[in-house]
Chains A and B, each alone.
Chain A
Amino acid sequence: MTHRCPLHCVYCSNPLELTKRENELPTDAWARVLREAAAMGVLQVDFTGGEPLARPDLTELIRAARDAGLYASLITSGLPLDEKRLDELVTAGLDHFQLSFQGADEESASQFSGTRTHAQKLCVARWVKQRRIALTLNFVIHSGNLHELEDMVRLAEDLGAGRVEFAHVQYYGWAFQNRSKLLPSRAQLDRSLEMIKNAEERLRGRMRVEYVVPDYYAKYPKACMGGWGRKVLLVKPDGDVLPCHAANILPGVTFENVLRKSLREIWERSDAFQKYRGEDWMPELCRNCDRRALDFGGCRCQAFLLAGNAAATDPVCSKSSERPLVDSILAEANRAGIPTAAAPAAIPPSHLHQSGVWLYRSNPR
């Protein structure tokens, strides 16, 4: 909906280049996009950002989503919100409220979000629990807060969430810039996965416990977005349609805009969406690999970020000739007690906000 956000999370996966407010789509354009999405068979819409609550027309657009026949989720920091506005969202037909947490307490959360918003989020969670909609708590986890994992699980239980997601940071956008301070050691990662799996088993039937791993540590890459242009599309605040939130970094790819073409036309026929569909684009390694229908060669944006080539096998893949690059990044993260410098910014934006240690996510001008 927007790239405006009250938080400044150091692990934000939004692009470094944030959409200006004046370029955001107006209400009627969003409503049309929602109708087009439903008409082409989309089942669910996630209202996200930045912070979707920053849009005054959010209630109206949730109503539009439901009227079109879509399941409506809100992916949010929970700010700005009061009970009156929450009731309006629920009356408009909101199905699911996914609330982010930046830590298990205010001190931890403030370090990574650059704000003191934890207490307010606890209020929001309680308000949501009193209404009959789904509540998910989303904890983004990394080397700086993994020691709090048990407290996070307890918090999810205390707040009575139906679902909790532990999302290891994915290295795109602002997270990529701060990677050296976020990437956990192997020991931290293994401990976290054991804890999460124990919680999953213990809470089965009471809470859905889900998690995302940092795939640098995997043997094979993730099936990013379920494959390029297979399951998901993202409409950016300015109406450009992308296969994921990071694809704007890919050179030589032009994204179509909903103000000029229908969503169906963009999804089915645009150059950008066709570019990495199927197997014809795959390098020989992937084309001959029996995992190609499982992970689709991994993530195009990651291949570009790490190896400079969006059409290459994702370097995370142990079969990739570029895997040593990933291994050297992991070696850095596993060198005990040696602080590492921040990863250099690829294209430093003019509105960087650095505090000497972290690159905090700024706001669009």
Chain B
Amino acid sequence: MTMPDMESRPRLAPGCRLNEKSQPQRVLLMPERALRLHGPSLEIVERCDGTRTVREIISDLQKTYSKAQPEKVASDILEYLGRLRDQRALDFE
């Protein structure tokens, strides 16, 4: 899997969105698929608004998850972003 470009800005693809905050579980909705989000996965997706670069998202979450190894946080985020790209949930602008 090719890793996302660090300077690109991930954004939810057309037709992909989070469900309402009021609903019991946070879910990422897309055509014929729904992904449950919580903890790190939710933190990542919430930051994919087309304004922040991959680098900025990683740096931000390395602060949030300060107890974890920064390299591990970075590689986990990159892998997760790549998987969401392959599911066509994210565009990288």
Q: Which residues of A are interface residues toward B (Cβ below 8 A)? A: 41, 43-44, 69, 71, 73, 95-96, 98, 132-136, 162-163, 204-205, 207-208, 210
Contact of B14 among A44, A73, A132, A207 (CB under 8 A): A132
Instruction: Assess whether B31 is in contact with A69, with CB atoms less than 8 Å apart.
Output: no
The verdict on A71 contacting B85 (CB below 8 Å), with A96-B15, A132-B14, A133-B15 known, is no
Residues of B within 8 A of A136 (CB): 31-32
Q: Which 6 residue pairs are nearest across A and B when measured between Cβ atoms? A: A134-B15, A71-B29, A132-B14, A96-B31, A96-B15, A208-B88
Residues of A within 8 A of B2 (CB): 205
- A343 CB, min distance to chain B CBs, angstroms: 30
Kindly state the separation between the CA atoms of A44 and B88 in the bound complex, as whole angstroms: 18
A-contacting 9-mer, from B16-24, B55-63, B71-79: B16-24
Kindly state the separation between the CA atoms of A96 and B17 in the bound complex, as whole angstroms: 11
Q: Does B7 contact A (CB under 8 A)?
A: no
Residues of B within 8 A of A162 (CB): 13-15, 31, 88
Kindly state the separation between the CA atoms of A44 and B17 in the bound complex, as whole angstroms: 12
Q: Which residues of B are interface residues toward A (Cβ below 8 A)? A: 2, 13-17, 19-20, 22-24, 27, 29-32, 34, 85-88
Residues of B within 8 A of A134 (CB): 13-16, 30-31
Who on chain B is nearest to A132 by CB?
B14
Kindly state the separation between the CA atoms of A208 and B88 in the bound complex, as whole angstroms: 6
Kindly state the separation between the CA atoms of A133 and B17 in the bound complex, as whole angstroms: 11
Instruction: Assess whether B86 is in contact with A95, with CB atoms less than 8 Å apart.
Output: no
Most buried by B among A95, A98, A136, A205: A205
Q: What are 9 A-B pairs at a CB distance below 8 A?
A: A41-B24, A43-B27, A69-B23, A71-B34, A96-B30, A133-B14, A163-B31, A205-B86, A208-B31
Kindly state the separation between the CA atoms of A133 and B34 in the bound complex, as whole angstroms: 16
Instruction: Assess whether A69 is in contact with B20, with CB atoms less than 8 Å apart.
Output: yes
- A270 CB, min distance to chain B CBs, angstroms: 24
Kindly state the separation between the CA atoms of A210 and B19 in the bound complex, as whole angstroms: 24
- B79 CB, min distance to chain A CBs, angstroms: 14
A205-B86, A208-B87 given; 10 more Cβ-contact pairs under 8 Å: A43-B29, A44-B32, A69-B19, A69-B22, A69-B23, A134-B14, A134-B15, A134-B31, A162-B15, A205-B2
- A18 CB, min distance to chain B CBs, angstroms: 25
Kindly state the separation between the CA atoms of A94 and B24 in the bound complex, as whole angstroms: 23
Instruction: Assess whether A43 is in contact with B88, with CB atoms less than 8 Å apart.
Output: no
Who on chain B is nearest to A46 by CB?
B32
Residues of B within 8 A of A135 (CB): 14-15
Kindly state the separation between the CA atoms of A207 and B86 in the bound complex, as whole angstroms: 8
Residues of A within 8 A of B87 (CB): 208
Kindly state the separation between the CA atoms of A72 and B13 in the bound complex, as whole angstroms: 15
- A99 CB, min distance to chain B CBs, angstroms: 12
Who on chain B is nearest to A207 by CB?
B88
Residues of B within 8 A of A44 (CB): 29, 32, 34
Who on chain A is nearest to B34 by CB?
A43
Who on chain B is nearest to A204 by CB?
B86
Residues of A within 8 A of B85 (CB): 205
Kindly state the separation between the CA atoms of A73 and B30 in the bound complex, as whole angstroms: 9
Who on chain B is nearest to A68 by CB?
B20
Instruction: Assess whether B32 is in contact with A73, with CB atoms less than 8 Å apart.
Output: yes
Instruction: Assess whether B17 is in contact with A95, with CB atoms less than 8 Å apart.
Output: yes
